[in-house]
Amino acid sequence: MNTIKTAALMALLMAIMVAIGGALGGSSGATVMLIIALAMNFITYWFCDTMVLKSYGAEPIEREQAPELYGLVEKLAANADLPMPRVAIIQSDVPNAFATGRNPDHAVVAVTTGIMRALNYNELAGVIGHELAHVKHRDILISTIAATMATFISYAAHIAAFFALRDEQRGAVHAQRMRGVMPAGGCQPDSDGHFPFPGV
């Protein structure tokens, strides 16, 4: 079911981008946005774990670097009948943990040093078990795509505001030029019924 949701979200993101491209640049704009949307969907699907880890400054670890944490994740993954995910640590005092990756075979569980200090073994097991539940139900890719959509919509709103402001400024300049061309008392027809304009 979540696979269908993921495909639907990716299709929706593409449709939104193409619609915005068409509104701003016609058929050429729609084509450009279609290409960008395809690239974004490809990158989001295949490299979502790498992007998320880099955005948080998470460092993947091996068993030797944090044996207790690594062993805990390994034990919980085995209990949930999941492949062993990669484990990453974020150097941050903020208590936090999350899972990312496109599917259970390519999942990553990341925790901050803050949550490792704040929680005991059993409490941390509860948090990591919750994250592994997201992996098992394939929620993590949906969350990543949803975040990508939110980011794009935010940028699109800024771009639309820029174009709207530019069009408004152009309209104001055009109005000023027209006022400079039109006579102060308005344009009156000559004896032949024509409306003369300066310089014509």
pLDDT number for residue 195: 53
Alpha carbon distance 167, 165 (integer Å): 5
Cite the DSSP H helix spans in the chain.
2-56, 67-79, 113-118, 121-136, 140-181
Q: 2-154: what fold?
A: Zincin-like (3.30.2010)
- Position 62: which residue type? E
Task: Count other Cβ atoms within 10 Å, centred on residue 159.
Answer: 12
DSSP 87: E
> Mean pLDDT of residues grouped by 10 in the chain (200 residues)?
69 81 82 83 77 88 96 96 96 93 90 96 96 87 68 67 65 60 54 55
Contact 112, 87 (CB under 8 A): no
Set 59, 62, 68, 131: catalytic member = 131
Nearest in space to 13 (alpha carbons), one of 122, 130, 146: 146
**How do 97-100 and 86-90 pair as beta strands?**
unpaired
For the question of residue 131 being annotated catalytic, the response is yes
pLDDT number for residue 171: 61
Nearest in space to 82 (alpha carbons), one of 73, 70, 71: 73
pLDDT number for residue 169: 64
DSSP 83: P
pLDDT number for residue 36: 83
CA geometry: angle at 197 spanning 195 and 200, to 5°?
A: 115
Expressed in angstroms, the distance from the first to the final Cα of the chain is 69
